[in-house]
Chain A
Amino acid sequence: MLKKLLRYDLAPIFKYWWIAALTSFVVSLLGGGCITILRADPKPPVILTAIAGAGLVLIVFCNIAFVILAEILSYLRYYRNFYTDEGYLTFTLPVKTTTLIASKLITVSITMVATGLILMLNIFSMVALGFGGDFWNEITTILSELWAQLGLYLPLYAFLAILLILVLCVFSSLLVFCCITIAAILAKKAKVFCAIALMYAVSGVTSAIFQLFSYLSMFGAFDWLERLPESSVKPFIALFLVGLIAFIATLSAAAYLAQYRMIDRKLNLA
């Protein structure tokens, strides 16, 4: 049943998403051309430089718009499916609530990951086209320097970083789901507005925590980390990343539980 739900959830999002993705990709390729014009030596005519500069600004905006569109599409789908008139039909489907939430979560995660990949591809192709050989040389130098310093830890760190990004994707999606659900429970009207306000509050708190850690690290609160022996630093970082992944996965599981409980006990669509 999950497969069917996923098909029904993904189809309406990707109906628009692929157009936006393709547009942003084509536009980014043009961006590579703009960078080439701006870097040309001798300088091309002023009007061409101005067009290339303006074009580059528009291309950056286009990519930002693509990310925002992808997020709106996926969260709107969740909101409409659960908390508008469609919700009556959704909750009459012969599936468990956990399956419904899982389907929405997988849909949002797939959309976010796909958007991230396309965005990376866009930036990569734009820079590769614009900077040509210099870019490849720079990438090769950075990678070889990293390999020389980290050795086999490099692929391990890369794998853990990807895993961390995926877990963060799931956690942030669940946070947005929770905000939308709380807004649907608490607000009689302007549910979307309430959900956005809640989301701002949540992101405010998380960024405050992050800033607190940065502030303290600036004052040397974590200086004792530097006392680690040289040989322990690499395994320590790997283990720390694993711990962070497990920590965020715990928070995600708790958010999933909260989401389930709110829908199960508190939500009244009547």
Chain B
Amino acid sequence: MSRGRGRGRSDVDFVLAYIDAGSGSLLIQGLIAALVAIPIFFRTQISRAIRAIRRDSAQERESAQRGG
């Protein structure tokens, strides 16, 4: 889906739109996004780990029930 750079579009086209995005806005959003992505990354990893632990213990319970 993405067009990517380098297909007849310059580096400047990359951040140009029909509205003025503002240089400062483009730069600061990169910084903010990098910062806010950190807790989101850890939250995702933690919830993945919790889901995996729950899945494992559910499987253990199931096999214990089958065994019993």
Question: Does chain A bind chain B?
Answer: no
Q: Which residues of B contact A (CB under 8 A)?
A: none
Q: Which residues of A contact B (CB under 8 A)?
A: none
